[in-house]
Amino acid sequence: MDQARPLPNELDLSAHWIPFTPNRQFKAAPRLLVAAEGMWYRSAEGRQILDASAGLWCVNAGHARAEITRAVERQLATLDFAPGFQMSHPLAFELASRLAAIAPDGLDRIFFTNSGSESVDTALKIALAYHRARGEGQRTRFIGRERGYHGVGFGGMAVGGMVANRRAFGAMLPGVDHLPHTHDLARNAFSKGQPEHGAELADVLERLVNLHGGDTIAAVIVEPVAGSTGVLVPPKGYLERLRAICDAHGILLIFDEVITGYGRLGTAFASQYFSVTPDLMTTAKGLTNGVVPMGAVFVRRFVYDGVMQGPEHVIELFHGYTYSGHPVACAASLATLDIYEREGLFQRAASLAAEWQEAMHSLRGYPHVIDIRNLGLIVGVELKPREDGPGRRGYDLFLECYNTGLYARVAGDTITMSPPLIIESAQIALAVERLGAALRRIR
Ligand SMILES: Cc1ncc(COP(=O)(O)O)c(C=O)c1O
């Protein structure tokens, strides 16, 4: 028999070191979720909370999907683990083929990981290995972007552009430089969709090429839409210019689609939405609907072929994880892709995007709101910071929303939402109503 579990209010909270959370503040007033279904979470106090953020931008098909549960159960009972080194199992190949079929043009070689952070570090390593295999081992630099988030591995942290995520952790990777971020309130506040101004910020890449030498740069990595620093939508023409400059200098372009992948913009991947194709693409989150940890790096054929060098008995890429292509994760992902396809969820996101945009922009003019920015089923609502410090008003709004039945995310003074793609019109209206009411209540 299972051991009896303590009730939520009887828990000892001291042992668990909670990630990306002020532990002492949280443990004084914890927010515990105990169940989820469809668009809703249930809290330990029994409150229903609208999940307007798909968990952490990952539960794209909504919570507790029976097909995924069944697939996971079946897989656990059939083949719970298979070694992925010098061995494999059929589902890993089936899943890779399914992913290749929905991938942007030519990105049809897939490397499995367990998270977004691992996908990013894997993509950076593949970029280095590719250049080295073709005799350009001097290309060791990476270019990231200010306000970028690429997870928490040493590689992703180094190319990321969030000071709080970097400050405590030493020198990181050498040879990394950053593009400027594209956030421009003065020119672009309250843009609907892609902002008009800022494509020229991509030209800074030319300056970095001149500074470092283009032939020392292995790859540029950006999120097509930056999520974690408060939803930064790329200005019109910006990604196209990055692509052109990378091409001119033999630099690989990596799109980090950990958030934008699997339908968030109404296409399978953001690169299809923008018609800009990277050379590598990092994904995770929506790959399994968030239910089992898994990531996938999509690689253009020429990069894969470039690494497949040397004698055939020698490992081409000395890289991989014990759980790369884990059978249970593969089963969850295949069932997730089935749901996306059968229910047309990517198209559904596309068809809801205009309604989402208008609903969110109706909050313009509410107290404290200095910007609203959106694309696909994503929104960022930025507040004027309060005098007592940046982030305080944003946190108060997050808390007020949570306490009144709306789960949204907060990044500094920006509230972000990115709901499951199954969201209905009435729930979009409810999210706006609750956010609007919370804005009126906070100071
Ligand atoms: C763009 C991007 N890259 C990487 C990551 C890291 O993913 P994980 O937390 O699964 O390691 C995230 C997580 O939010 C992300 O948004």
- What residues does each domain of the chain span? 8-61+344-441, 69-342
- Distance from residue 209's CA to the centre of ligand 1 (Å): 27
Best of 112, 162, 228 for a ligand 1 pocket test (most atoms within 8 Å of beta carbon) = 228
pTM for this model (two decimals): 0.98
Best of 221, 258, 321 for a ligand 1 pocket test (most atoms within 8 Å of beta carbon) = 258
Question: What is the model's pLDDT at position 84?
Answer: 97
The residue behind tokens 């229903």 is 48
Q: What is the pLDDT of residues 33-47, one digit of tens each?
A: 999 999 999 999 999
Best of 53, 112, 222, 259 for a ligand 1 pocket test (most atoms within 8 Å of beta carbon) = 259
Cα–Cα distance, 87 to 89 (Å, whole number): 7
Sequence-separated (6 or more) residues with CB below 8 Å from residue 7? none
Question: What is the model's pLDDT at position 1?
Answer: 55
Q: What is the pLDDT of residues 167-214, one digit of tens each?
A: 999 989 999 999 999 999 999 999 999 999 999 999 999 999 999 999
Question: What is the model's pLDDT at position 281?
Answer: 99
* Ligand 1 nearest atom to the CA of residue 227, by list position: 16
* Ligand 1 nearest atom to the CA of residue 153, by list position: 11
* 340 pLDDT tier (thresholds 50, 70, 90): very high
Q: What is the pLDDT of residues 349-404, one digit of tens each?
A: 999 999 999 999 999 999 999 999 999 999 999 999 999 999 999 999 999 999 99
- Distance from residue 331's CA to the centre of ligand 1 (Å): 22
Crossing angle of helices 90-102 and 327-342, in 10° steps, is 40
Question: What is the model's pLDDT at position 165?
Answer: 92
Task: Report, at the CATH architecture level, how domain 69-342 is classified.
Answer: 3-Layer(aba) Sandwich (3.40)
- Distance from residue 366's CA to the centre of ligand 1 (Å): 31
* Ligand 1 nearest atom to the CA of residue 293, by list position: 10
Q: Whose CA is nearest to atom 3 of ligand 1?
A: 150
- Distance from residue 116's CA to the centre of ligand 1 (Å): 4
- Distance from residue 309's CA to the centre of ligand 1 (Å): 31
- Distance from residue 9's CA to the centre of ligand 1 (Å): 31
* 286 pLDDT tier (thresholds 50, 70, 90): very high
Helix (H), strand (E) at residue 50: strand 48-51
* Ligand 1 nearest atom to the CA of residue 257, by list position: 1
Sequence-separated (6 or more) residues with CB below 8 Å from residue 375? 193, 194, 225, 231, 233, 265, 353
- Distance from residue 258's CA to the centre of ligand 1 (Å): 6
Cα–Cα distance, 193 to 195 (Å, whole number): 6
Residue 283 in 3-state DSSP? strand
- Distance from residue 443's CA to the centre of ligand 1 (Å): 31
Best of 112, 114, 149, 225 for a ligand 1 pocket test (most atoms within 8 Å of beta carbon) = 149
State the SS3 of 312-365: CCCCCCCCCCCCCCCHHHHHHHHHHHHHHHHCCHHHHHHHHHHHHHHHHHCCCC
Alpha helices (H) along 103-250:
116-133, 154-159, 163-166, 185-188, 204-212, 238-248
Q: Whose CA is nearest to atom 8 of ligand 1?
A: 116
* 82 pLDDT tier (thresholds 50, 70, 90): very high
Cα–Cα distance, 144 to 148 (Å, whole number): 7
pLDDT higher at 104 or 9: 104
Best of 60, 150, 409 for a ligand 1 pocket test (most atoms within 8 Å of beta carbon) = 150
What superfamily in CATH does domain 8-61+344-441 come from? Aspartate Aminotransferase, domain 1 (3.90.1150.10)
- Distance from residue 152's CA to the centre of ligand 1 (Å): 8
- Distance from residue 85's CA to the centre of ligand 1 (Å): 25
- Distance from residue 362's CA to the centre of ligand 1 (Å): 30
* Ligand 1 nearest atom to the CA of residue 260, by list position: 1
Q: Whose CA is nearest to atom 13 of ligand 1?
A: 151
Q: Is the pLDDT of residue 157 over 90?
A: yes
* Nearest to 286, CA basis, from 325, 333, 342, 343: 333
Question: What is the model's pLDDT at position 49?
Answer: 98
* Ligand 1 nearest atom to the CA of residue 256, by list position: 1
Cα–Cα distance, 398 to 425 (Å, whole number): 22
Q: Whose CA is nearest to atom 7 of ligand 1?
A: 116
**Residue 178 φ/ψ, nearest 5 degrees:** -130, 140
**CB-defined site of ligand 1, < 6 Å:** 115-117, 120, 149-151, 223, 227-228, 256, 258-259, 284
Question: What is the model's pLDDT at position 134?
Answer: 96
* Ligand 1 nearest atom to the CA of residue 115, by list position: 10
* 3 pLDDT tier (thresholds 50, 70, 90): confident
